Amino acid sequence: MTPKIAIVAALERELHPLVKNWQRTTVAHEGRQFTFYESSYAIVVCAGIGPEAARRAAQAGIVKYAPEIIISAGIAGALVPELKVGETIFPAIVVDTQDGSRRETAIQTSPVSHTALGRTIVASSMHIAGIAQKERLAKSYGAHAVDMEGAAVACAAEAHNLPFLAIKSISDEYDFDLPDIEKFIHDAEFQTARFALYVAVRPWLWLRVMRLARNTRIASENLCAWLRESVLTHTIVSGIVKSNP
C-alpha cells in the first residue's frame, strides 16, 4: 500500500516519538540524500533546517511517493501570550515573510477549523526569531506563531496541486529569550557538539538552554500525539484524502 500522507519535518528528533519504530530508508533526489521513515499510511522526511531544505525534501517526497496530501509538521515559536509550551496548532494560513505571500491550508474542511487552534496564522521566517523579531512578525502579519519551513512546504504542495496542512507545536513562548543558536546551523543541520562546547563555558546560558531542551521535548511529544491520534487516523484529513478501499 502506498502511503497517502507525506509529512515534512526539519529534524528527526522533532518526530522521533512517532517514527522511532517505522522503517527507515535513504532516498537520493537531485544529488542529495534524504532520510525517510515509512509506515503503511504515511511517510516522514527529515528535511533539515530552513525553507530551502524543506522545499527540496517536500519535492523528493512527492516524486518518490506520490502522496495525496503534504503536511509541514514541527516545532514553532509563539508570537502571542495565549500560546503556551506544548500547545499544538493547525494554522489556517501560512505566510512567507520573504515576499508576504499567504497560502491557505486545507484545515478549513476539518472540524478543528472551528476552534481557536485551527484559526491561527503561522509566519515562516528565514531566521530564528528572537523576542524583538517575534513582536515585529506578530504586528506585520497578524501571526500567532513562527516557523522556518511551513511556507516552503506549502509552495511545493501548491506546485503539484496537492492539499497542504501545517501542524506546529510550541517550543518557546513569545517572551522566551532564545540563546544565539542560528550561528550553529550549517548546511541545514544543527551542529550540536559545537553548541554544547559553546554553552559549556558560559554558565549564564545553562538554565536557558535546559529550559529550551525541556520545552522542545514537551512540544515534540505533544506534536507526535496529535499526529498519531488525529492526522494518521484520518480524524483531521478525512475528506481531504481518499479512504482506503
132 contacts 64 by C-beta, under 8 angstroms: no
What is the tally of helices (H) and strands (E) in the chain? 6, 13
Domain holding 126: CATH number? Answer: 3.40.50.1580
Answering whether pTM is above 0.85, one says yes
208 located within any domain: yes
240 located within any domain: no
175 contacts 94 by C-beta, under 8 angstroms: no
pLDDT in tens, the chain (245 residues): 566 899 999 999 999 999 999 999 988 888 888 889 998 889 999 888 999 999 999 999 999 999 999 999 999 999 999 999 999 999 999 999 999 999 999 988 777 777 887 889 999 999 999 999 999 999 999 999 999 999 999 999 999 999 999 999 999 999 998 888 888 888 888 889 999 999 999 999 999 999 999 999 999 999 999 888 777 766 677 666 654 44
106 located within any domain: yes
Instruction: Give the residue among 239, 162, 178 at the shortest CA–CA distance from 7.
Output: 162
171 located within any domain: yes
Per the structure, the complete domain to which residue 71 belongs is given by 5-231
Phi, psi of 83 (to 5 degrees): -90, 125
245 located within any domain: no
Q: Give the integer Cα–Cα distance in Å for 165 and 70.
A: 6
Say how many domains are in the chain.
1
174 located within any domain: yes
Reported as a single tens digit per residue, the pLDDT across 29-74 is 888 888 899 988 899 998 889 999 999 999 999 999 999 999 999 9
Q: Give the integer Cα–Cα distance in Å for 228 and 115.
A: 19
DSSP assignment letter at 230: I
Helix (H) or strand (E) holding 96: strand 93-96
Residue 241 confidence (pLDDT):
63
243 located within any domain: no
89 located within any domain: yes
